[in-house]
Amino acid sequence: MKITCDFCKTEYSVPSRPATAVKCAICGHVWAVAAPARRDVFLKFFAALCALFAAIVFAAVVMITHDKKVEKNKPLVATITGYESVVDDEGIPHLVVSGRITNQSAEIYGVPDLILVSHAADGTVIEKQKFMPSATLLDSGGYTEFRHILSVPVSQVKKVTVELPDMPTPGDKK
Ligand SMILES: [Zn+2]
């Protein structure tokens, strides 16, 4: 079976579930491996239904609270356009976040790494996941779509935001 470090998400293949806590060889995090979810077809189906429902509720809540303001002084703007859910090998639903990066400046811009931030119900940041969109350059007015699976289970996430790293404004003198 596969086990994943809670902290750095490194995956390990082990012959069977360790009975005691395990230590990650990469980051040193110690965690207890939970028993794998039952592979029962009905349970999987039920998990998928729950995931779908959670994603719908989640999307509705996010759409209601979505802030429409445009950040005019930034050349690139990243927005989240949709959520789906997938169920992993353990039967745990995860959110798939899709969105768009738009170049609203008059210059050509390189596409930076994006950071998806998962927030808990109380507003605390559960996880920041950095990833690289497929496009590398955006013409003026151009955009590219992105799609990324969150590693945090859907049940823990109340809100997702997308961040771009700070970048210089065009025309800035060094
Ligand atoms: Zn680790």
Ligand 1 center–CA 31 separation, angstroms: 9
The pLDDT value recorded for residue 111 is 87
CA–centroid distance, 16 to ligand 1, in Å, is: 19
Cα 10 to averaged position of ligand 1 atoms, centre (Å)? 6
Residues composing the chain = 174
Contacts of 47 (CB under 8 A, 6+ apart): 37, 87, 91, 92, 93
Task: Report how far residue 11's alpha carbon sits from residue 24's, in angstroms, rounded to the nearest whole number.
Answer: 9
Give percent of the chain with pLDDT exceeding 90: 21
CA atoms of 149 and 133, how far apart (whole Å): 13
Q: What is the DSSP string of 42-110?
A: HHHHHHHHHHHHHHHHHHHHHHHH------TT-SEEEEEEEEEEEE-TTS-EEEEEEEEEEE-SSS-EE
173 pLDDT higher than 50: no
| Residue 89 CA to ligand 1 centre (angstroms) | 20
How many angstroms is it from 4 CA to the middle of ligand 1?
A: 8
Q: How far is the CA of 28 from the centre of ligand 1 (A)?
A: 6
Using the CB atoms, write b or e for 13-37: b if 16+ within 10 Å: eeeeeeeeebebeeeeeeeebeeee
Tens-place pLDDT, residues 75-105: 888 999 988 888 888 888 888 999 999 998 8
CA of 8 to the centre of ligand 1 (A): 4
Distance 107 CA to ligand 1 centre (A): 41
pLDDT tens across 60-69, in order? 766 665 554 4
CA 7–ligand 1 middle distance (angstroms): 5
- The CA-atom distances, in angstroms, between 106 and each of 18, 62, 138, 167 are 56, 31, 11, 15
Q: What's the CA-to-centroid distance between 23 and ligand 1, angstroms?
A: 8
Find the 21 Cα to ligand 1 centroid distance in Å: 13
Average pLDDT on 117-143 reads: 89
Fold topology of 38-163: Immunoglobulin-like (2.60.40)
pLDDT band at 29 (very low <50, low <70, confident <90, very high): very high
Domain with CATH 2.60.40 in the chain: 38-163
